[in-house]
Each structure stands twice: as C-alpha cells, then as structure tokens.
Copies of this chain bind each other. A is one copy, B any other.
Amino acid sequence: MYEGAVQDLIDELGRLPGVGPKSAQRIAFHLLAADTEDVHRLVDALTEVKNKVRFCEVCGNVAEEDRCQVCRDPRRSTTVICVVEEPKDVVAIERTREFRGTYHVLGGAINPIDNIGPDNLRIKELLTRLADGTVAEVILAMDPNVEGEATATYLSRLLVPMGLRVTRLASGLPVGGDLEYADEVTLGRAFEGRRVVHG
C-alpha cells in the first residue's frame, strides 16, 4: 500500500509478537516523524542485543559474559536451584528479593501442540548441575498453566527419586485480589493449600 521503504518497515514490525498491522503502521509513522537520532538509538539497541547477549553457560539465563549476573554473584547460594521457564521469570522472581539461590532456565515448557518435548528443554543441563550433590533443594517455578504443570510433573518424577527436596511455588488467591472474582481452580488451590493460623 505504501511506497517501498515504509511498507517494508510496516511488514517487519508486523512480524513482532503482539504487533498487528494497525500498530505496525502507527509505529512506522511515529519513527518516520521521529528524530534520526532516536531511530539510531533503536537500531543500535537491536544490533547490540544480537552482538552482546548470549545465554549463561550455567543456568541458561540471558548474560553478557559467560555467566549471568546471578551465577557470577558469589553471595548467591548454589544449594538451592529455582527452575523457571524463561529469563523473564528470573526477573520477576528477582524483583521479589525473596530468593537468594540460583536459577535454571528451561527455555520453555512441555507443549505437545507446539512440538516441545522434554528434549527441547534444558533438562539434561539441569541433571548435570545436580550430579555433584551440592544441590539440596530444587524449586519448580513453572507458570501455573497446563504446560507449566506438565513440565513440573515431569521434572518432579525425575528429581524426587534422586533424593532431592523438590518444592513447588504455592498456588492460591492473588494478594490484593477479590475472593469472589477468583476462578474456581485458583479458589480450589487456595483451599487445598490452606494453612493453620497460630495465635
């Protein structure tokens, strides 16, 4: 519809996740009107990310050196490993400041529809890390959805027989939420995981 370069940019932007044709057009015109300097900053950021960023050789998290920020930090405990699906889950957990152990990023979850089986995830690498016996606990922190549950079940069947303490994050009512609006599954989990109040 547009002349060459504008249409090319709209097409490329439209390939990004969550960017439909209308947003792609809006972004393209925004960039057309923007300072050349602003566009260069975006171009540089894109180029840098491909040049600099790799995956941590230990945990699979994003890193700019051989090891990620967490694995490089000597204050982090290596006896507890929190297994997550994606690097963004590491960021979400780091934000809580609750966890002082290390991570293992699987790179996804078991999903037969998308043809992702255990062999496509970094499970072999996890087992290698567990081999020397320093790890005492593995926390399974997959997403609370079908794929996450399947992955957690698969991993717990693999890890429990190894004599490790295997835990999962608690399911229940989100803090700040409204009980009456909680879905049945969440409310059911909240009952299942109810705690004795002392005092």
Contact = CB atoms under 8 A, between A and B. Distances in A.
A108 to B, nearest CB: 10
Contact of A5 (B6, B16, B49): B49
A46 B3 CA distance: 14
B91 A3 contact: no
A42 to B, nearest CB: 5
A190 to B, nearest CB: 26
* Secondary structure class of chain A's binding surface, majority of residues: helix
B53 A6 contact: yes
Contact of A1 (B6, B86, B95): B95
Contacts of A28: 49
A43 B88 CA distance: 24
Given A30-B16, A49-B31, A62 B2 contact: yes
7 contacts: A1-B94, A5-B53, A9-B49, A13-B42, A15-B38, A18-B27, A43-B43
